[in-house]
Amino acid sequence: MATATSIPPQERLTLTSDGETIESDLYGRLPATRVAILVHGQNWDASGWRGVAPLFVARGVPAMAVNLRGHAGSTGKTNRYRADKPWTPVADLRAAKAALRSRGVKEIALVGSSMGGSAVLASSFEGDVECVVAISAPVAAVPDELSKKITGRKLFVCGPRLIARDTERAELLLRRERAEEARPLRRPRAFPRYVQRGVRRRSAW
């Protein structure tokens, strides 16, 4: 089994996305039939994949780690996701996919962590990838109308800390529900006498 070793990329690729310069690190060699695009989280950059990318290369799949806007050598700024506005990571990944296809790539896998995980899911809406891997993402529930747009084979990976946090939340909710069930039922307040008389009269009708 291959082990992860941190190695520098074999090639630095420069792309253009909406007029911004996007720098990417290529591990392995092109042309190739399949390539994995690796997308970092909000507080790190493409160099964080140096221990992971060699595993793809060892299995014959080149990997391209993309620096989204405002990260490392890429210009511009990555904006926050809003449903009513274009999200810059989707545009950056569109440029990355186009660059790979121009060099003969046929199948693309998207792998993203944290913010990058949400980015690869959103990028898959375009229906042009083989599979998507989202690590520790999404961090919030996704509406059905969006989840149905995710294309390709899917793998969602959750870290131990997130599992522990979600387990604690579930246990807390369960304890609250059990506490509510254990409470004695309050006796309903008696109706005023004039209401009771009215009920008796109506029942006689």
What are the pLDDT digits (tens) for 35-51?
Answer: 999 999 999 999 999 99
Average pLDDT, the chain: 84
Does 149 score more than 60 pLDDT?
Answer: yes
Within 10 angstroms of residue 13's Cβ, the number of other Cβ atoms is: 18
Task: State the pLDDT at residue 83.
Answer: 79
pLDDT tens-digit map of 7-36: 788 999 999 999 999 999 999 999 999 999
What is the per-residue burial (b if ≥16 Cβ within 10 Å, else e) of 125-164?
eeeebbbbbbbbbbeeeeeeeeeeebbbeeeeeeeeeeee
Q: Is residue 193 part of a domain?
A: yes
Domain containing 35 equals 11-204
Q: Is residue 6 part of a domain?
A: no
Q: Is residue 5 part of a domain?
A: no
Residue type, 201: R
Does 2 score more than 90 pLDDT?
Answer: no
Q: What is the CATH number of the domain that holds 28?
A: 3.40.50.1820
Concatenated DSSP letters of 112-142: EETHHHHHHHHHGGGS--SEEEEES--SSPP
CB 117 within 8 A of CB 135: yes
Q: Is residue 50 part of a domain?
A: yes
- Domain total in the chain: 1
Does 167 score more than 90 pLDDT?
Answer: no
Residue type, 163: I
pLDDT band at residue 1 under the 50/70/90 scheme? very low
Q: For residue 37, list its beta bridge partners.
A: 64, 110
Interacting residues of 28 by C-beta distance below 8 A, sequence separation 6+ = 10, 35, 56, 57, 61, 62, 63
Q: Is residue 4 part of a domain?
A: no
What is the per-residue burial (b if ≥16 Cβ within 10 Å, else e) of 16-50?
ebeebebbbbbbbebebebbbbbbbbeeebbbbbb
Number of alpha carbons in the 13 Å side-chain half-sphere of residue 194 = 0
pLDDT tens-digit map of 65-123: 999 999 999 999 999 988 788 999 999 999 999 999 999 999 999 999 999 999 999 99
Task: State the pLDDT at residue 195.
Answer: 44
Q: What is the pTM of this model?
A: 0.76
Q: Is residue 23 part of a domain?
A: yes
